[in-house]
Structure 1
Amino acid sequence: MVEVKLHDIGEGMTEGTIVSYFAREGDEVKRDQPIIELQTEKMVTELSAPVAGKISKIHIEEGQTIPVGTTILEIEAADNVNNEPENKNIEEVDNKQSTTTGPKRIKAAPFTRKVARELGVDIDAITGTGKDGRITVKDVESFSNGGTQIEEKQTSSTQEDVEFIPFKGRRKQIAAHMTKSLFTIPHVAHMEEIDMTKLLAYREDIKETYNISVAAFFIKALAMSLKKFPIFNAELDEDNSQIKLKPNVNMGVAVDTKEGLIVPVINRVEDKSLGTIHSELKTLNEKARENTLQPQDVRGSTFTISNVGPMGSIGATPIINYPEVALMCFHKTKKMPVVNEADEIVIRSMMNVTLTFDHRVMDGGDAIQFTNYFKSLIENPNIMLVELSGE
Structure 2
Amino acid sequence: MLEVKLHDIGEGMTEGEVIHYLVKIGDSVKTDQPLVEVQTDKMVAELTSPCTGIVKEICIAVGETIQVGTSLLVIEKMGVANTEQRVKVNTKQTAEQKAVSLIGQEGKLLLNPYKRVLAAPYTRKIARDNNIKIEDVPASDPSGKVTEEDVYSFLNENQQSEKSINEVYLEPSSQKNPDEIPFKGIRKKIAEKMTKSLFTIPHVTHFDEVNMTNLFKMREELKDSSESVSVPAFLIKALVISLKEFPIFNAELDEKNSRILLKKNYHIGIATNTESGLIVPVIHDVDMKSIKQINKDVKELTAKAIAGTLQPFEMKNSTFTVSNVGPLGSTGATPIINYPETALIAFHKTKKQPIINERDEIVIGHIMTLSMAFDHRVADGATAVAFTNRFASLIEQPHKLIMEMI
Tell me the equivalent position of 2:345: 328
Unpaired segments ≥5 residues, structure 1 = 84-93, 152-158
**Mapped contact 1:181–1:321 kept (Cα < 8 A):** yes
Residue type of the alignment partner of 2:275? K
2:351–2:368: 8 Å Cα contact kept in structure 1? yes
C-alpha contact 2:11 2:313 (8 A) present in aligned 1: no
For 1:383 and 1:82, how far apart are their aligned partners in 2? 69
**Higher helix share goes to which structure?**
2
Q: Determine the structure 1 residue equivalent to 2:331.
A: 314
> TM-score, structure 1 length as denominator?
0.85
Q: CA deviation at 1:65?
A: 3.0
Match of 2:386 in 1: 369
Q: Tell me the distance in 1 between the aligned counterparts of 2:157 and 2:208.
A: 53
Note the aligned Cα RMSD (angstroms): 2.7
Q: Which of these residues, 250, 270, 273, is aligned with residue 267 of structure 2?
A: 250
Partner of 1:108: 119
Tell me the amino acid that sits aligned with residue 12 of structure 1: G
* Alpha-carbon shift at residue 371 of structure 1 (Å): 0.8
Shift of 1:22: 1.3
Q: Which amino acid aligns with 2:313?
A: Q
2:405 aligned counterpart, secondary structure: helix
1:358 aligns with 2:375: yes
Specify the alignment match of 2:107 in structure 1. none
User: How far, CA to CA, are the matches of 1:249 and 1:110 in structure 2?
Assistant: 31
CA shift, 1:228, in A, is: 1.5
Aligned residue for 1:217, secondary structure, equals: helix
Residue 73 of structure 2 is aligned to residue 73 of structure 1: yes
Q: Distance in 1 between matches of 2:209 and 2:194?
A: 26
What is the alpha-carbon distance in structure 2 between the residues aligned to residue 303 and residue 81 of structure 1? 55
* 1:30-56 Cα shifts (integer Å, max 9, x gaps): 232211112211112111123332222
Check the 8 A contact 1:332/1:352 in 2, yes or no.
yes
**Equivalent pair of 2:204/2:375 in contact (CA under 8 Å):** yes
Change (3 A) 1:181 1:124: same
Counterpart for residue 123 of structure 1: 134
The answer to whether the 8 A contact 1:65-1:169 is kept is no
CA contact (8 A) 1:27 1:54 kept: yes
The percentage of counterpart residues that share the same residue type is 54
Change in 2 beyond 3 A, CA 1:144/1:370: closer
Q: Indicate the structure (1 or 2) with the bigger Cα radius of gyration.
A: 2
Contact 1:335–1:347 under 8 Å retained in 2: yes
Q: Give the Cα separation in 2 of the matches to 1:315 and 1:164.
A: 30
- TM-score, normalised relative to structure 2: 0.82
Gaps of 5+ in 2: 84-99, 101-109, 163-174
Alignment of 1:270-309 (within 5 A): 270-309=287-326
Equivalent position SS for 1:12: coil
Q: CA deviation at 1:258?
A: 0.7
In structure 2, how many angstroms separate the alpha carbons of the residues matched to 1:81 and 1:380?
72
User: In structure 1, what residue type is equivalent to 2:185?
Assistant: G
Secondary structure of the structure 1 residue equivalent to 2:223: coil
Alignment partner of 1:136 is 2:136: no
State how many pairs are aligned.
366
| C-alpha deviation, 1:145, in angstroms | 7.1
Q: What whole-Å deviation, never above 9, does each CA across 1:343-377 have from its counterpart, x for those lacking one?
A: 54332211111111111222112111111100100
User: Deviation of residue 96 (structure 1)?
Assistant: 6.3
Relative to structure 1, the CA distance from residue 384 to residue 82 in structure 2 (aligned partners, 3 Å threshold; closer, same or farther) is: farther
Give the corresponding residue for 2:50.
50
Alignment of 1:1-391 (within 5 A): 1-80=1-80, 98=113, 104-118=115-129, 120-125=131-136, 128=139, 130=141, 132-140=143-151, 161-208=177-224, 209-340=226-357, 344-389=361-406
Task: Please tell me whether the aligned partners of residues 348 and 369 of structure 2 are also in contact (alpha carbons under 8 angstroms).
Answer: yes
With over 3 angstroms needed to count, the CA separation of the structure-2 counterparts of 1:23 and 1:201, relative to structure 1, is: same
